[in-house]
Amino acid sequence: MHSRVRVAELIGDKIIRQDLLPGRSVGEVALANEFGLSRTPVREALFGLESEGLVRAQRGRGFIVQPMSPAQAREIFPIIATLERLALESSEAPGAELLGQLSELNRTMAAANSPHERMRIDASWHRAVISGCGNPRLITLLAGLKTTALRYEYAYQKVTSLRDQSVPEHDEIVELMTTDTAEAGKAIEAHWLRGMNAVIEMMEE
């Protein structure tokens, strides 16, 4: 039996990949059959995803996939940028092991073929870059916000030219971490905001 959290991850992944399309109804019965479950854990998972901004409940009509929008991106990304900058600036000085891990993740992302794989590696890089932050509440806030942003990240990673722009920015942030965490914080904030602007430009074209 899948846990509610696991079911939410599976449905969220379908939304991120656009197997469940924005603005369309979520087929609860079809999902329950696919997962071999009753509708109850599926509905519980959907209520959890509603709090993350991925679906919206409609009275008498079940759930629909929340459309992506420039407005939502403008709400989410600046908050992530500010909080990740804060987390990095308040982190311990990185050791050689962490710096090596970050560089290796970046090389792996550059060589990855699928947008889903690049998104997964990029998320691992960002978790690692703030792993020295000693504020667990801040880390939890960031994790929740990033779940909502994953659809935009997936769209971003589908465009190779944008992905390739991220790689040198990551390297620059890692280099700054060795000398000046305040400058590294500014760089990671700018990195998120550039990504936001790129995604918004794609949606508005």
Residue 19's SS3 state is coil
Domains of the chain with bracketed CATH: 4-65 (1.10.10.10), 70-204 (1.20.120.530)
Q: Which residue has the tokens 């992944």?
A: 13
Residues 7 and 41: beta-carbon distance below 8 Å: yes
Report pLDDT digits (tens) over 16-58: 888 898 889 999 999 999 999 989 999 999 998 988 888 999 8
What pLDDT is stored for residue 1 in this prediction? 45
Total-model pTM: 0.84
Positions in the chain short of pLDDT 50? 1
In the numeric block, which tokens belong to residue 110?
Answer: 């550059």
